[in-house]
Amino acid sequence: MSHIEAKKQDTSSCTPMEHRAFEQPEVLTEEALFFHHGIIGFGNDQRYTLTPFPRAEYAPLQLLIHHQNPSIHFLIVCDQVLDKKYHVSDLSHVHQIFGYNAATTKCYFIVTVLGQGAEMLVAINQRAPVLIDHAGKRAGQHIMADTQLPLSMPLPEFSVALRARITP
């Protein structure tokens, strides 16, 4: 059984926010993306692959892997699997400026993991989401004008649910 099939069948973990199985991101296969406006600090005009995390218990986290240097990779999570309080409210100006198709563009956040085991805490960068236009196969990380958006927003409920899945 592939890790994608296992991920589709595994409903053992629930999000504490809504007491239901983690939602699956729409992208469940590898997808090559062109970042004209690259990941901050890693240059423009770069190609990455968006892929499910290799171990199903880490779902809904995904990997963004650099094509030319696969040792460069990022954990990301689609905002659709998070509680709405973590969503960036208005991305229409970014869609317009960069020509992204709003209907096929999803918002993702780069994930940082602080600590390990029972102390593990997952955080996201809300101030600089990664927008992926799945139809256009292009993406970019964009710094939002709203200075109230944190660079590191802890996700305590998400962290608890993820720890429960990965801790024996």
| Model pLDDT for residues 82-119, shown as the tens digit of each residue | 998 898 888 888 888 888 899 999 999 999 998 888 88
What pLDDT was estimated at residue 128?
94
CATH number of 3-166: 2.30.290.10
pLDDT tens, residue by residue, 58-90: 889 999 999 888 889 999 999 999 998 898 888
- Whether 126 contacts 20, CB under 8 Å: no
Q: What is the DSSP letter of 46?
A: E
72/49 Cα distance (integer angstroms)? 11
143/133 Cα distance (integer angstroms)? 17
Residues whose CB is less than 8 angstroms from the CB of residue 144 and which lie 6 or more positions away in sequence, other chains included:
88, 126, 127, 128, 129
- Report the chain's terminal Cα–Cα distance, integer Å: 21
User: Position 98: which residue type?
Assistant: F
- Given a cut of 70, is residue 14 above it in pLDDT? no
Q: Where are the domains of the chain?
A: 3-166
